[in-house]
Amino acid sequence: MIIVTGGAGFIGSNLIKGLNQRGITDILVVDDLTEGDKFVNLVDANIADYLHKDDFRRRVLANDLPSVQAVFHQGACSDTTERNGHYMLDNNYQVTLELFRFCQARRVPFIYASSAAVYGAGPVYSEDPVNESPLNVYGYSKFLFDQVLRRHQNELTAQVVGLRYFNVYGPREQHKARMASVAFHNMNQFLQDGHVRLFGGWDGYTDGGQSRDFIHVDDVVAVNLYFLDNPDRSGVFNCGTGRAQPFNDVAMSVVNALRRHRQLPALPLSAQVEQGLIRYTPFPDDLKGRYQSHTQADLTQLRAAGYSAPFLTVQQGVERYVDALVACGRLRP
């Protein structure tokens, strides 16, 4: 059996899809469906069982689970504005620590979600403590367990991998509301208002020129499955594309992908701006000095671990995203 915590969530449900595509269906999904809208992410999933996260936690502490092949720990509170440190450290850090100990005792591979939030404002995004300075308690909760892995890395009984996700986007994120990706919000803005809104220039960046490392969820799944296939490799690794692209690229790709489904030609950025399809709003004063204007994953360690596959560009990934939503009827362009 493979366990996927957060299995009804964004990355977790896509990971289950990836496992299903390999013919793997003996999957235990762990999540919290108190707010039940996430169930739609599991409708097309082939799984063996579901457990509420609190029931699962009790069974982990009691060592009351059947034979486990691997654990993908994606469950966490990912709200970067959450300020309840007691809740965040219990939910994100303590639960991860308990699962780590369970997996080590049973010699079970443990692949967990870390975050690029550990780097704070950057500007260097490589896996070294000198570059890590989280700006919120969410980032700290991820940073804290990464440090546990580092302390124990030379004495592990089984694989442990922490993947520092950068800006992930793609299907099955509709339940995330304001925490959903830029691409998701751009799509909804364009369909509702006929245009996309971006921040204007600030801090030396042009209008819409602030850049992030945007990674499609299919690439995130591929990295997770690579480590499942290579249980001799452990450590903390960045999970991004290694490429920073401006918010303009995301907005332009969204507009063009939706125009294509309307049988309209693609337009360059300048034409989209001129026609009012992309519009800029003044950079908010309350974000100045607290905003990541540029992120870019250093992939040196991921590549050294043997992961050699290319990553989708924003243009390729957004097209795939829009096409997937149209195909399943969740988007009517």
Residues with catalytic function: 138, 176
Quote the CA–CA distance of 266 and 261 in Å, as a whole number: 11
Distance CA 248, CA 215 (A): 15
CA atoms within 13 A on the CB side of 240: 25
- The amino acid present at 205, given as its one-letter code, is Y
Q: Characterise 292 by phi-psi region: left (phi > 0), alpha (psi -120 to 50), beta (else).
A: beta
In whole angstroms, give the CA distance from residue 146 to residue 33: 28
Residue 197 pairs with which residues in a beta bridge? 279
Looking up tokens 């690579």 gives: 226
Cross-strand pairs, 71: 3, 110
Give the number of other CB atoms < 10 A from CB of residue 70: 21
Quote the tokens at residue 177: 């509301």
Query: With contact defined as beta carbons under 8 Å apart, do 273 and 251 qualify?
Result: no
Task: Give the pairing type, strands 214-216 and 49-52.
Answer: unpaired
Q: Ramachandran region of residue 269, left (φ > 0), alpha (ψ -120 to 50) or beta? A: alpha
Residues pairing with 49 in the sheet: 28
User: Please, what sign has the CA dihedral across residues 114, 115, 119, 123?
Assistant: positive
- Which token pair is 269? 């950025």
